[in-house]
Amino acid sequence: MLDERDRKILDMLQRDATIAVSDLAERVALSVSACSRRIQRLEEAGYIERRIVVLNREKIGLPTTVYALVKTAHHTDEWTEEFRRAIGDIAEIVEAHRLTGHYDYILKIVLPRVEHYDVVYRRLVRRLELFDVTASISMETMKAGSAVPVDYAV
């Protein structure tokens, strides 16, 4: 069971995983050793999956985001696993979700420029038979981030 301090620790770490344990401990009113033990417990319990660095996409030459909506006529477990492998092999596909509704999947693709989408598209359709792919170019990121609310954590 998580308490309010655990939730604060989770919230602060997901916003800045580089925060010093001493700073974090001070902000949640704990000793450094107690805070460190809580972090370790949260990691062992699976609340913290991993710690990552978020890169500046402009600086590394990937300013363009394309969302591809994919429809397939295949829904077998084997096809789904092959789709998983195919998208896993394409580094530009940074996120993928299986959907309800008209389309089966949505892919978030990061690119150096919009013209590079064709390269990614061709790599994907060489490996899989797709019924329909519709792509939309993101014109502006209005909200981005990976932080999730911690209020629901139990």
Query: Average per-residue pLDDT in the chain?
Result: 96
* CA atoms of 77 and 66, how far apart (whole Å): 27
* CA atoms of 151 and 8, how far apart (whole Å): 10
Same domain for 122 and 71: yes
Asked if residue 96 has pLDDT above 90, the reply is yes
pLDDT recorded at residue 1 = 87
Same domain for 131 and 68: yes
Number of structural domains the chain divides into: 2
What's the average model confidence in pLDDT over 54-81? 96
Same domain for 115 and 86: yes
- One DSSP character per residue, 94-148 reads EEEEE-SSS-SEEEEEEESSGGGHHHHHHHHHHH---SEEEEEE----SS-----
Same domain for 39 and 68: no
Q: 64 - beta bridge partners?
A: 111
pLDDT recorded at residue 69 = 98
What's the average model confidence in pLDDT over 66-85? 97
Asked if residue 92 has pLDDT above 90, the reply is yes
Asked if residue 126 has pLDDT above 90, the reply is yes
**Percent of the chain scoring above 90 in pLDDT:** 95
Same domain for 128 and 71: yes
Domain that holds residue 35: 4-44
Instruction: Dump pLDDT digits (tens) for 14-55.
Output: 999 999 999 999 999 999 999 999 999 999 999 999 999 999
* CA atoms of 69 and 77, how far apart (whole Å): 20
Asked if residue 154 has pLDDT above 90, the reply is no
Residue 86 three-state SS? helix
Same domain for 73 and 126: yes
Cα angle, residue 28 at apex, residues 25 and 30 outer, rounded to 5°: 50
Asked if residue 70 has pLDDT above 90, the reply is yes
Asked if residue 130 has pLDDT above 90, the reply is yes
Residue 150 near residue 3 (C-beta atoms within 8 A) = no
Residue 28 near residue 9 (C-beta atoms within 8 A) = yes
What's the average model confidence in pLDDT over 55-82? 97
Return all residues near 51 (Cβ < 8 A) that are at least 6 apart: 13, 17
pLDDT recorded at residue 134 = 97
